[in-house]
Amino acid sequence: MAYLQVRNKTAITSLLSHSTRTFMLILGLNGMANSLSNIFINVFLFKVTQNLYDVALFNFVSYVIWMPFYLRAS
C-alpha cells in the first residue's frame, strides 16, 4: 500500500521500463487520433444526411464491432 502513496512523478516513471512508457505513449496517441477522426466522421455524416440517427448508428456499430476484439485482448 505504501507504493500507492508516491508523491514524486519521477518515482512513478521509474517503476515502468522504457519500452512500457513508449508503448503507453503510442496507445495514448492512437486513442487521441481515433477520437479526433471520429469527430470529423460524425460531423461529415451529419452534414451529408442531416440525421442524428445515422451518426448514432455509426457510433453504435463501431463500438459493437470493437467490443469482441477488446474483450479478447483483455
Domains of the chain, by residue range, sit at 6-73
pLDDT at 24 (0 to 100): 92
Q: What cell was used for 68? A: 469482441
Is there a contact between 32 and 23 (Cβ–Cβ < 8 Å)?
no
Q: What burial letters (b/e) apply to 16-31, b meaning 16+ CB within 10 Å?
A: eeeeeeeeeeeeeeee
Flag whether pLDDT at 45 surpasses 80: yes
Torsion angle of alpha carbons 42, 47, 48, 53, nearest 10°?
60
* Percent share of the chain, pLDDT over 90: 50
